[in-house]
Structure 1
Amino acid sequence: MSEDIQSFTISIYTENNIGLLNRISAIFQRRHINIESLTTSQSEIDGVNRFVIVVNICEDTACKIVKQIEKQVETIKAYYHTEDETIFTESCMFKINSDLLFNEPQIQNIIKESYSRIVTVNKDFFVLEKSGRRNEIEALRRDLNSFGIMQFVRSGRIAVTKDEMKVSELLKAFDNQ
C-alpha cells in the first residue's frame, strides 16, 4: 500500500447509539489524525446512520482505521474511498449587511458568478447559500471578505460513491431485523 498522504472519505454505517461519536473520534485522536470534516445523517435505511469523515492520511492508515472502527459494536460496515471514487459537495452560508446588496453592484455580480443563492433578506442582513467543492466556497469567501462577512458557516462533506457499495445487502438484512 502507498505511503503517500492523500484525502480519504471514510463512510461508516452504524446503529444510532449514544457515545459512538466519542469512540470513533478517539480512534483518530489516538493516532494523532486531524479530522478535516465530519458529517452524520440518517442513511438510506431507516434506523441506520451514516458518518462521512474526511482525513488526510496514507492508504495503509485508512485501512487500519476502518478495521478498528468496524470493531465497534454499533458499526455495521465502514469503508474508505479516494476523492476520485466519490461524488461530494459541501454547503455554506454567509450573513452579510443588507446595505451592500442594494448599494454595492459588485455583490450582485459575485452572487451570480458564484452560483450562490439568496436565502433571506431583511433590513439588516441577507443570507447567501452556496453548495460546491471546498475551493469554490473558499473563493466565494475571499470575494466577500473585502465587503465584510457578519457570519460564515460551512458544512462537512456529504458524499456518495461512484461504484455501488456492497453495504446494501447488509443494510437490508439489518432493516429486516
Structure 2
Amino acid sequence: MKRRIVTATVLNQSGVLNRVTCLFTKRHFNIESITVGHTETEGISKMTFVVSVEDDRQIEQLLKQLNKQIDVLKVSDITNQAIVARELALIKVLANGQTRAEINGIVEPFRALIIDLSRDTLIVQVTGDTEKIEAIIELLKPYGIKELSRTGVTAFARGSQKSVTDIKQYTLLK
C-alpha cells in the first residue's frame, strides 16, 4: 500500500464533506486522516486527505471522481511534490513531582509545549511532521499516556517545486 496526500479546494457549503468522503467510501479507500479548514478566500475551504492506495490507477480514478463533484474547485495529489506538512497532537501524560523534570527533558528537544499541569498529569502540545509526532509519543509511553488526540496532516505544495533531491544538493553547495 502506498500512502498518498490529496488536497481538495471546495465550496464551504453544507454537506460537501459528506459528499466528498462518500466517494472515498464507495471506492473502499481508508482515510488515514482528514483535515478541513477555511482558506484565505471567504466561502472556500481546503481538505487534506491521507489515504492508502494499492496502485497509481486507483488514485487517478479517485482524483477524476473528486473533480466531477460540483462543490469541488480543485483537486491535487501532492504526494511527490515538495510540500510543507504539519500535524498537531495533544498528549495527556501521567506525571508526578519526580517525573515532571524527566518529561520536560523529553518535550524540550521536540520544541513541544507543556500547556496544562495538574497534580497527576500534564498535557503536551506538539506540532510537526508525522514522524516527529510518532517519535514523541513513543518516548512518552513509558510514563503512561492517559489521552491522545491528533489533528491529522494538513499540507500544501511549497512555492518552488524543485525536487527534494535538488533542494538538498543546493543546500550542500552553499
**What TM-score, normalized by structure 2, do the two folds share?**
0.83
- Which of 155, 158, 167 is the aligned partner of 2:154? 158
**2:57 counterpart residue number:** 60
**Which is worse superposed, 69-78 or 103-112?**
103-112
**2:98 counterpart residue number:** 103
**For the Cα contact (< 8 Å) 1:7–1:83, is it kept in 2?**
no
**2:90 counterpart residue number:** 93
**For the Cα contact (< 8 Å) 1:39–1:53, is it kept in 2?**
yes
**For the Cα contact (< 8 Å) 2:87–2:154, is it kept in 1?**
yes
**For the Cα contact (< 8 Å) 1:38–1:52, is it kept in 2?**
yes
Any idea what the Cα deviations from partners look like across 1:5-54, whole Å, max 9, x if unmatched? 43221111111122222221121112211111100000121110111011
**1:27 counterpart residue number:** 23
**For the Cα contact (< 8 Å) 2:92–2:148, is it kept in 1?**
yes
**Which is worse superposed, 57-66 or 47-56?**
57-66
Whole-Å separation in 1 of the counterparts to 2:80 and 2:116: 33
When residues 75 and 164 of structure 1 are mapped into structure 2, their CA distance, relative to the original with a 3 A threshold, is farther
Give how far 1:83 is off: 4.7
Unaligned runs of 5+ in 1: 166-177
Any idea what the Cα deviations from partners look like across 1:104-136, whole Å, max 9, x if unmatched? 242121112322111122334321101112122
**SS of 1:73's equivalent?**
coil
Unaligned runs of 5+ in 2: 162-174
Aligned positions of 1:161-172 closer than 5 A: 161-163=157-159
- Which of 72, 77, 82 is the aligned partner of 2:79? 82
Whole-Å separation in 1 of the counterparts to 2:24 and 2:52: 11
**For the Cα contact (< 8 Å) 1:117–1:130, is it kept in 2?**
yes
CA RMSD of aligned residues (A): 1.9
